[in-house]
Amino acid sequence: MESVVATLRAAGCVFAEEEAELIVSTASGPDEVARMVDERVSGLPLEQVLGWASFHGLRIAIDPDVFVPRRRTEHLVDEAIARCHPDAVVVDLCCGSGALGLAVATAVPGVSLYAADLHPAAVKNARRNLPPERVFEGDLYDALPPDLRGRVDILLANVPYVPTDDVRFLPAEARLHEPRLTLDGGADGLDLLRRVAAEATDWLAPGGPLLTEASAEQAPMAAEILATAGLRATISSDEHDFATTVIGTRDRSPREF
């Protein structure tokens, strides 16, 4: 263990002791420990080295070339759970590994979960974590079964929101080992959110929320995008985890109040 810690520390791993413990406890033997240490030293994200990520109390399988769920996104999940009822229809757009949808479905009984992503590697990964027949490949709503239109009670959309010019400032393990399409949100970081918001009222059930993540600086503009799309927009922040969730809710019709 000490040699693993020393190697990781020399490579610049800030939490070398914790990472060494995770690698040793995950590996099946010394040869795999050596391989995993080499991968981590080369800059591969720890979660891709281990093959799993801890997220919202769950162990999520993580494949290479797939976005690693961030701890700050647990705030979005908590906001979704607070609004989710048993037997709700939940959709996880841009699902990546499927971590968000799985966390909500684990916390709320009877949820009908659907997930979709454009990236084939993400779809393959999500099918390891979720019922494979509920994970679809395609561009946003085009991937979903048409009969979900107007029935989605919770819409999770953790879309990429890093402005294009800022991608180069991301940590190397994200910039070099996660697909750019999962990071780059366009000129102001909100291009994909605009597309999601534009059709959200067609897919959400009355009273259903769309939940997305943004930076604290982007949040007012993200809220304006949701409001322009016909949703009631609110912003929820968790300063401890530097997390900001923007929520847009479809209004109920008068007869549903």
pLDDT at 7: 87
Distance CA 3, CA 144 (A): 49
In the block, residue with structure tokens 């953790």: 158
Phi, psi of 10 (to 5 degrees): -65, -30
Kindly state the percentage of the chain with pLDDT values over 70: 98
Q: Are 233 and 223 in contact (CB under 8 A)?
A: yes
Taking 90 as the threshold, does the pLDDT of residue 95 lie above it?
A: yes
pLDDT at 253: 64
pLDDT at 255: 41
What is the pairing mode between strands 209-213 and 243-249? antiparallel
Nearest to 127 by CA among 115, 139, 138, 119: 115
pLDDT at 12: 86
pTM recorded for the entire structure: 0.91
CA distances from 75 to 182, 210, 211, 235, 236 (A): 19, 14, 10, 12, 9
Taking 80 as the threshold, does the pLDDT of residue 25 lie above it?
A: yes
Predicted confidence (pLDDT) per residue in 116-164, tens digit: 999 999 999 999 999 999 999 999 999 999 999 999 999 999 999 999 9
Predicted confidence (pLDDT) per residue in 231-245, tens digit: 999 999 998 888 999
Predicted confidence (pLDDT) per residue in 184-231, tens digit: 999 999 999 999 999 999 999 999 999 999 999 999 999 999 999 999
Between 152 and 13, name the one with better pLDDT. Answer: 152
Tell me the pLDDT of the chain averaged across its residues.
93
